[in-house]
């Protein structure tokens, strides 16, 4: 009963995540650094070397459609959450 | 609402990490207590972390060329208690930063403190304040709304103090807009729109899951 409700809950959430694709704009302030050049005429130098080397930047897989990228990214988030807390539970069993 | 690395100074990030590390440790202990005392807690905590992860991906556009999203702090705080909610949101933010480049890694302390700690405790205390005094749905809405607006204040302050603290020759070194811009833009949009989205998400999720939450909210 509890597990079924949670599985349904997570499936609904995965199905809702692509709604986020409707928005073309980033959150206020979270612009790419080039946009600061346009806005204020320079790129603050502390921002320049702050590039991120994430394995899956912006939840986008190269060569996959935005819809699939988003669905797979959401699923990865679910999987990592379960792996993490399962690992915490395992640490108890060793003690 | 996810501050990227380079938008706040390394010193700001380190101060926020120093604040967050002991809070993470206490949140972790609370989460582990839940897991040790109840075999179903792993599934529930994992699901709520996954929910926070996903709801933060749902960007909602607003007029003016920007967007925002719910965080899940209201639902997590009410269903898990504020400490465990803070810990779960921090874990979701950690995955987003490290795997997907959403929010900085050095800035994880700042983002966790704002969206996780202030957000969850704000939601929790507003919920407790009006418990049994207002219809439950209204109370749930207020809880989510308040947590979200409080979190946005922290983000706006952290970004807005940057040009005041760190500049050379009149040029900002990090985020260039000061409090007079960040407060209306970030807090304003959360008061008008995103707080309400968090409030509605809180109602929906708590109602949907309230049938199974009973024992888990132990601490």
What is the pLDDT averaged over residues A74-88? 97
Asked if residue B17 lies in contact with residue B108, where contact means CB atoms within 8 angstroms, the answer is yes
Tell me if B25 is assigned to some domain.
Answer: yes
Give the lowest-confidence range in A37-41, A47-51, B137-141, B147-151.
Answer: A47-51
Tell me if A36 is assigned to some domain.
Answer: no
Of A5, A29, A58, the CB nearest to B211: A5
Burial tier of A53 (Cβ tally within 10 Å: 0-12, 13-18, 19+): exposed
Tell me if A38 is assigned to some domain.
Answer: no
pLDDT band per the 50, 70, 90 thresholds, residue B218: very low
What is the pLDDT averaged over residues B193-203? 98
Asked if residue B119 lies in contact with residue B150, where contact means CB atoms within 8 angstroms, the answer is yes
Tell me if B122 is assigned to some domain.
Answer: yes
Of A16, A40, A54, the CB nearest to B176: A40
Tell whether A33 is within 8 A of chain B (Cβ): yes
Tell whether A10 is within 8 A of chain B (Cβ): yes
pLDDT confidence of residue A93: 56
CA angle B194–B199–A67, rounded 5-degree value: 60
- Cα-only R_g, chain A: 19
Tell me if B54 is assigned to some domain.
Answer: yes
Statement: residue B113 has pLDDT above 90: yes
CB atoms B50 and A77 under 8 Å: yes
Q: Find the domain containing B43 and state its range.
A: 10-212
Q: Find the domain containing A14 and state its range.
A: 1-21+60-95
CA distance B55 to A76: 14
pLDDT confidence of residue A50: 72
Instruction: Report the domain count for chain A.
Output: 1
- The Cα diameter of chain A in Å comes to 58
Of B40, B58, B91, the CB nearest to A20: B58
**Which residue in chain B has the smallest CA separation from A32?**
B4
Which residues lie below 8 Å from residue B81, measured CB to CB, with a gap of 6+?
B30, B124, B217, B218, B219
Of A44, A49, A85, the CB nearest to B176: A44
pLDDT confidence of residue A53: 81
Chain B positions in Cβ-Cβ contact with residue A42 (cut-off 8 Å) = 171
Chain A positions in Cβ-Cβ contact with residue B63 (cut-off 8 Å) = none
Tell me if A41 is assigned to some domain.
Answer: no
Asked if residue B206 lies in contact with residue B79, where contact means CB atoms within 8 angstroms, the answer is yes
Tell me if B2 is assigned to some domain.
Answer: no
Statement: residue A51 has pLDDT above 60: yes
* Core vs surface per residue B86-114: b (16+ CB within 10 A) or e: bbbbbbbbbbbbbbbbbbbbbbbbbbbbb
Instruction: Report the domain count for chain B.
Output: 1
pLDDT confidence of residue B215: 45
pLDDT confidence of residue B214: 58
Q: What is the CATH number of the domain that holds B141?
A: 1.10.1760.20
Tell me if A43 is assigned to some domain.
Answer: no
Tell me if A71 is assigned to some domain.
Answer: yes
Chain A positions in Cβ-Cβ contact with residue B1 (cut-off 8 Å) = 27
Token reading at A90: 């395992």
Tell me if B1 is assigned to some domain.
Answer: no
Tell me if A53 is assigned to some domain.
Answer: no
CB atoms A10 and B50 under 8 Å: yes
CA distance B163 to B173: 7
């Amino acid at each position: 009963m509890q597990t079924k409700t949670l599985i349904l809950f997570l499936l609904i959430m995965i199905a809702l995540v692509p709604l986020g694709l409707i928005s073309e704009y980033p959150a206020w302030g979270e612009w790419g650094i080039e946009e600061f050049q346009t806005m204020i005429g320079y790129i603050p130098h502390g921002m320049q070397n702050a590039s991120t080397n994430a394995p899956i930047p912006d939840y986008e897989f190269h060569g996959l459609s935005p819809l699939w990228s988003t669905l797979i990214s959401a699923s990865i988030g679910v999987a990592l959450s379960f792996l993490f807390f399962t690992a915490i539970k395992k640490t108890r069993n060793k003690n | 609402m996810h501050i990227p690395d380079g938008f706040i100074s390394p010193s700001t990030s380190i101060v926020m990490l120093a604040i967050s590390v002991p809070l993470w440790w206490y949140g972790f202990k609370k989460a582990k207590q839940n897991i040790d005392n109840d075999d179903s807690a792993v599934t529930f905590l994992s699901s709520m972390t996954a929910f926070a992860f996903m709801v933060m991906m749902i960007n909602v556009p607003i007029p003016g060329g920007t967007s925002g999203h719910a965080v899940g702090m209201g639902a997590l705080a009410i269903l898990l208690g504020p400490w465990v909610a803070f810990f779960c949101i921090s874990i979701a933010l950690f995955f987003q930063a490290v795997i997907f480049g959403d929010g900085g890694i050095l800035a994880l302390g700042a983002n966790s403190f704002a969206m996780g700690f202030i957000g969850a405790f704000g939601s929790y205390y507003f919920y407790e304040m009006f418990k049994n005094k207002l219809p439950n749905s209204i109370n749930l809405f207020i809880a989510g709304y308040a947590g979200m607006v409080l979190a946005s204040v922290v983000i706006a302050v952290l970004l807005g103090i940057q040009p005041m603290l760190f500049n050379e020759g009149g040029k900002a070194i990090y985020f260039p807009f000061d409090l007079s811009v960040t407060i209306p833009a970030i807090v304003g949009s959360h008061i008008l729109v995103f707080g309400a989205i968090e409030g509605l998400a809180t109602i929906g999720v708590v109602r949907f899951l309230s049938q199974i939450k009973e024992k888990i909210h132990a601490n």
